[in-house]
Chains A and B, each alone.
Chain A
Amino acid sequence: GAGVSQTPSNKVTEKGKYVELRCDPISGHTALYWYRQSLGQGPEFLIYFQGTGAADDSGLPNDRFFAVRPEGSVSTLKIQRTERGDSAVYLCASSLTPETPQYFGPGTRLTVL
Chain B
Amino acid sequence: ELKVEQNPLFLSMQEGKNYTIYCNYSTTSDRLYWYRQDPGKSLESLFVLLSNGAVKQEGRLMASLDTKARLSTLHITAAVHDLSATYFCAVFIVGGGGADGLTFGKGTHLIIQP
Which residues of B lie under 8 Å from residue A98 when comparing CB positions?
Answer: 94, 100
The CA-CA distance from A94 to B27 in the complex, in Å, is: 24
> Across the interface, do B101 and A45 meet the contact criterion of CB distance under 8 Å?
yes
Answer yes or no: B88 CB below 8 A from chain A CBs: yes
> Across the interface, do A56 and B101 meet the contact criterion of CB distance under 8 Å?
yes
The CA-CA distance from A3 to B42 in the complex, in Å, is: 12
> Across the interface, do A45 and B102 meet the contact criterion of CB distance under 8 Å?
yes
> Across the interface, do B90 and A56 meet the contact criterion of CB distance under 8 Å?
no
Answer yes or no: B111 CB below 8 A from chain A CBs: no
Which residues of A lie under 8 Å from residue B105 when comparing CB positions?
Answer: 42
The 5 closest A-B pairs by CB, nearest first: A45-B101, A42-B104, A56-B100, A104-B43, A48-B100
Q: List 9 A-B contacts (CB under 8 A).
A: A33-B102, A35-B101, A35-B102, A41-B106, A43-B43, A55-B100, A101-B48, A105-B42, A107-B42
The CA-CA distance from A77 to B31 in the complex, in Å, is: 27
Which residues of B lie under 8 Å from residue A47 when comparing CB positions?
Answer: 101
